[in-house]
Amino acid sequence: MVLLSAALLGMSGEAFSADNKTGFFSRMFNGAKAPGVAPVKNPQYLEECGSCHFPYQPGLLPARSWTKVMSGLENHFGENAELPPEDVNNITDYLLNNAADHANYKRSKRIMNSLRADDAPLRISETPYFIEKHNELSHAMVRDNPKVGSVSRCGACHTKAETGSFSESEIQIPGFGAWED
């Protein structure tokens, strides 16, 4: 009986993770390849988008969201980010092919599971998954923190954000230190 209980607990992934959500068996049975999101590997996306803001990994939004983002570059969150049509097509293809609904990563799958079938948020911070994960942060830690300023500045607190890793153990909030949940 003890062996069966241990096996069931292990298969759920609960016994192997700090946040009870990232265990080996959990990833194996939900199909996720890795715990984070795929890192950005498209030089054109890194250059064109990453020159103005954090180059958000495509696996943080579904394809339908990226379609909306890329079709509105003339007013991209208050800025004109228009690009030549060929560049728009290349970047859009990259984003759609690597979007959360096409990714095999734990966080991408969780983001998709948090959305209704027709949801197409324009901001990662509008996804229910993101809201749940950031609900304990105070304005002092983020908005009123001059070294952070906004939840859209992932790399300000997530020390390995550029690699696609958003583990709680890697969070360092400027002026507050390591995140402890």
Summarize pLDDT for 53-67 with one digit per residue, the tens. Answer: 999 999 999 999 999
Kindly tell me the burial class for residue 69, based on how many C-beta atoms sit within 10 Å of its own C-beta (0-12, 13-18, 19 or more). Answer: buried
Phi then psi for 131, rounded to 5 degrees?
Answer: -60, -45
Quote the pLDDT of residue 108.
97
Q: Which residues of the chain have pLDDT under 70?
A: 1-32
For residues 118 and 49, state if they share a domain: yes
Q: Is residue 128 part of a domain?
A: no
The DSSP string of 78-101 is: TB-----HHHHHHHHHHHHHTSGG
Structural domain including 98 reads: 35-123
Q: How far apart are CA 65 and CA 88, in angstroms?
A: 15
Write down the pLDDT at residue 34: 78
Give the pTM: 0.81
Looking at residue 57, its amino acid is Q
Identify whether residues 59 and 25 lie together within a single domain. Answer: no
Crossing angle of helices 85-97 and 63-70, in 10° steps, is 170
Q: Do residues 104 and 32 make contact, with C-beta atoms less than 8 angstroms apart?
A: yes
And the tokens for 161? 């954000």
Structural domain count of the chain: 3
Are residue 98 and residue 156 in the same domain, yes or no? no
For residues 111 and 148, membership in a common domain is answered with no
Please report whether residue 129 resides in a domain: no
| Burial state string for 154-168 with b = 16 or more CB within 10 A and e = fewer than 16 | bebbbbebbebbbbe
Q: Is residue 89 part of a domain?
A: yes
Instruction: Report if residue 180 sits inside a domain.
Output: yes
Considering only CA atoms, which of 107, 21, 22 is closest in space to residue 58? 107
Is-contact 38 44, C-beta < 8 A? Answer: no
What DSSP element (H or E) covers 173? Answer: strand 172-173
**Are residues 107 and 73 both part of a single domain?**
yes
Does residue 13 share a domain with residue 39?
Answer: no
Which helix (H) or strand (E) is 178 found in, with range?
A: strand 177-178
Residue 179 sits in the same domain as residue 143: yes
Residue ending a domain, choose from 102, 123, 144:
123
- Reference 35, options 21, 18, 55, 16; nearest CA is 21
State how far the Cα of 165 lies from the Cα of 155, in Å rounded to an integer: 10
Give me the chain's average pLDDT, please: 87
113 and 141 in one domain?
no
Residue 26, pLDDT score: 46
Query: Which pLDDT score, from 0 to 100, does residue 27 have?
Result: 43
Lookup: tokens for 122: 């324009």
